[in-house]
Amino acid sequence: MDEATAVALAQAGDVNAYAWLVRRHSAAAVRLAAAVCGSAADAEDAAQEAFVKMFYALGRFRPGAPLRPWLMRIVANEARNQQRSGRRRAALATRSAGTAARPGPAADELVIAEAEADAVLAALATLGERDRVVVAYRYFAGLSEREMADALGCRPGTVKSRLARALGRLQPALVEQGVTMTDG
């Protein structure tokens, strides 16, 4: 089954076609959510919630448009919401317990299978949200420049410059974590 057929069938209510779409995009969705919100539990929750939102929004999806950028935008938005929600819960817990908040997520909460994943995600966490999202779209969700432009709502040239600036800001944080960037 190809993606356009699966989307059309899912829009018509075919649960198997929807499940096929979820299987096809779930790994990229979790990687993207992890890069945006930083914790394994929140990433899983964000991806799952994004797929639920995708299901309910399929009727508004434009036929013939690429699904991946649209879905990854939903995932990134949901991951941001999870991150904000987590900060609010932590602040509330801190106020109610009367203790200082723990800074940032622990490295063991971060999810990605590569050997240097913890260091990469720690470096990525030092970036602002806009930079984290553009890097995550490219390297965690595997979106092309065109797909990134669709997801970000900007031109491909803007994507190139945002990504270049974000990578420039990421490099010193990676060096501090002991990770070297390679071309590729």
pLDDT single digits (tens) 94-103? 555 554 444 4
What per-residue confidence (pLDDT) applies to 43? 85
- pLDDT tens-digit profile of 93-142? 555 555 444 444 443 333 333 446 677 777 888 888 889 889 888 888 88
pLDDT digits (tens, 9 = 90+) for 37-56: 877 778 888 999 999 999 99
Secondary-structure class of domain 3-176 per CATH: mainly alpha
CA angle 121-105-84, nearest 5°?
100
Q: What is the pLDDT of residue 139?
A: 85
Question: What pLDDT is stored for residue 140 in this prediction?
Answer: 83
- Output the pLDDT for position 110: 33
Q: Which residues contact 2 (CB under 8 A, 6 or more apart)?
A: none
Buried b / exposed e along 52-90 (16+ C-beta atoms within 10 A)? eebeeebeebeeeebbbbbbbbbbbbbbbbbbeebeeee
Summarised one tens digit per residue, pLDDT across range 51-78 is: 999 999 999 998 888 999 999 999 999 9
pLDDT of residue 182: 62
Read off the pTM: 0.60
Residue ranges of the domains in the chain?
3-176
Q: What is the pLDDT of residues 160-177, one digit of tens each?
A: 999 999 989 988 888 887
Contact 119, 177 (CB under 8 A): yes
